[in-house]
Structure 1
Amino acid sequence: MIVIGLTGWGDHDPLYPPGTAAKDKLKVYARHFALVEMDSAFYAVQPPDRMARYAEETPQGFGFVVKAYQGITGHLRGKPYYENDDDMYGAFRDSLTPLREAGKLTAALFQYPPWFDCTKENVRLLRETKKRMEDFPCALEFRHQSWFVPEMRERTLAFMRDEGWIHSVCDEPQAGVGSIPTVPEATRADWTLVRLHGRNAGGWNQNGNADWRAVRYLYDYNESELAEWAAIVRGLAESNRSVGVVFNNNSGGHAAGNAKQLMRLLGQPVYELPVAREPEQLDLFNF
């Protein structure tokens, strides 16, 4: 099974009829896609009652990829919200529990920063994190090339298999040490995650511009590039029960259109908003 979705559900205007309230967008989004990545969890651990509401608002078969809180993955800059790691991980687990109990937690996504390189200390940290998240499906994504240089690639994949990590396969610009190559390998038989970040090489790394993050994911995949990914995803699906694909190229509003293009290439049905019909002129002489 291959399921396709987007990062977030609030910012994809073409998906919603005019005037759709923010509180109704998740329900409408779920008509278009069966998977979503919850990026808001990266900035703040979401309350369990809110997660329970999200589970209730979505149909059976819908799945959430929940991005791990920034304090867990080492992104946090500033005063920690939690007093210790036990409280932080405990809060994150509590947040995920309603989705897991509803059968809608695809994975907790642990995306580590570009400075998280392949060292013994970081391997130890990953083992500790996986142990703390026991019984929750966890996906792992790197942003430092050292994990997938030729001499480390197979060792990294073997480590992920041994520890039970879901591999987050990436498409992103090759823009130095802070980016990784596409490694289309499954590390578990039940799930593989694919995240398509676009190929904006010029905007990928910090460049001093104030709007750097706003344009980092500015990219529109063309038909040929999406056809390549359709073949890769089909290949992954041959050895996996499920493959989830998330489009993260949101900066220019291209994610939803690209996702639907890929669905068509894979022969999947695509939901489109009904087209409003022009009112018919009343003919007074035809009753």
Structure 2
Amino acid sequence: MGEIRVGACSWTDRALVGSGWYPVGQRDAEGRLRYYAGRFGIVEVDSGYYALPSARNSRLWVERTPDDFVFDVKAFSLLTGHPTRSALLPGGLPADSRDPWVLDKVWARFADGIEPLREAGKLGVVLFQLPPWFRPGTRAEGFLAQCAERTAGWPVAVEFRHPAWWRDEQADTSRALLRTHGFAAVGVDMARTLPTSIPPVAPVTSSRVGVVRFHGRSSAWGTGSKEDRFRHDYTDDELGEWVPRLRTLAGQVEQLHVLFNNCCGVAAVRAAERMRDLLAV
């Protein structure tokens, strides 16, 4: 069975920082990361979606974590086809994902930002969470092929947010497409009664790594505030549903990343701790 790593999708979330989970004396930037890394072996850098990562921060993260700690880094919004404000781009570049020159600059800056993690062997995956309007089809296949060219040599995981990717006969096609590019498929747990709900599947498309992200089961997913979308405390029964699924997945990959994105107060870290206990890892 492959190694199972369980953690949260942020260690800097404002609600977590203000929750009291971090002890007195370890609430500065360095102290928080050292405290978190003393309890978990993985974290997702969700800030990579909102702002281009910096090499300086990556070097600090390397220094402040154990040798075997890993970071999954969320790809920057422009690289996944999401709307992006020009203010977030270097040198006043226009936020135009159709301009090859702009894309070249942004890809280069992103690559430079995560390079210290790669050099240190601490880059778990680069997570491409694709927009909910990203549907199966020729254009999507072309986009993924371009991503594969840009990320050659990187460990990449892809999360589809349009439910059609994992429904019925399309699921086999989706697995084959990701496997062709060497991308790991991301399994998702979320509210299951919404039109946009992703089925609770855990497809294997890479023997190296598997990723499952737990978003919580709030019915406000996609509509409410950030707090409303992620406010969910997982019960043991809800976590237990996934235990056999995760063990089966871990038996098919070298490493399994189980990450909790219900970042509202201590909900994510508490769920991660409980899942780790249930999996006995």
Cα displacement string for residues 212-236 of structure 1 (whole angstroms, at most 9, x for unaligned residues):
2221011111111111212111110
Higher mean C-alpha deviation, range 231-240 or range 10-19:
10-19
User: Structure 2 counterpart of 1:50, which letter?
Assistant: N
Cα displacement string for residues 97-119 of structure 1 (whole angstroms, at most 9, x for unaligned residues):
11011000000000011111112
Shift of 1:264: 1.0
* Structure 1 segments (4+ residues) deviating >6 Å: none
Residue 258 (structure 2) pairs with residue 250 (structure 1):
no
CA distance in 1, matches of 2:272, 2:256: 14
Partner SS state of residue 10, structure 1:
coil
Question: Corresponding residue for 2:170?
Answer: 152
CA distance in 2, matches of 1:237, 1:15: 29
CA distance in 1, matches of 2:33, 2:235: 27
Alignment of structure 1 residues 226-245 onto 2, 5 Å: 226-245=239-258
CA distance in 2, matches of 1:178, 1:129: 24
Shift of 1:172: 1.1
Cα displacement string for residues 184-209 of structure 1 (whole angstroms, at most 9, x for unaligned residues):
121111100110011112x11225xx
Which residues of structure 2 form unaligned runs of 5+? 95-101
Alignment of structure 1 residues 1-287 onto 2, 5 Å: 1-11=3-13, 12=16, 13-23=19-29, 24-79=31-86, 81=89, 82=93, 84-201=102-219, 203-206=220-223, 212-268=225-281
User: Structure 1 counterpart of 2:266, which letter?
Assistant: G
Alignment length (residue pairs): 263
What TM-score results when the alignment is normalised by the length of structure 2? Answer: 0.89
Partner SS state of residue 32, structure 1:
coil
> In angstroms, what is the RMSD of aligned CA positions?
1.5
Question: Corresponding residue for 1:285?
Answer: none
What percentage of residue pairs aligned between the two structures are identical?
A: 34
Partner SS state of residue 216, structure 1:
helix
Bigger Rg, which one = 1
Shift of 1:77: 4.1
Shift of 1:175: 4.5
8 Å contact from structure 1 (residues 37, 65) kept in 2: yes
User: Structure 1 counterpart of 2:22, which letter?
Assistant: Y
Shift of 1:176: 3.9
Shift of 1:94: 1.1
What TM-score results when the alignment is normalised by the length of structure 1? Answer: 0.87
Relative contact order, CA 8 A, sep 6+: which one is greater?
2
Higher mean C-alpha deviation, range 221-230 or range 103-112:
221-230
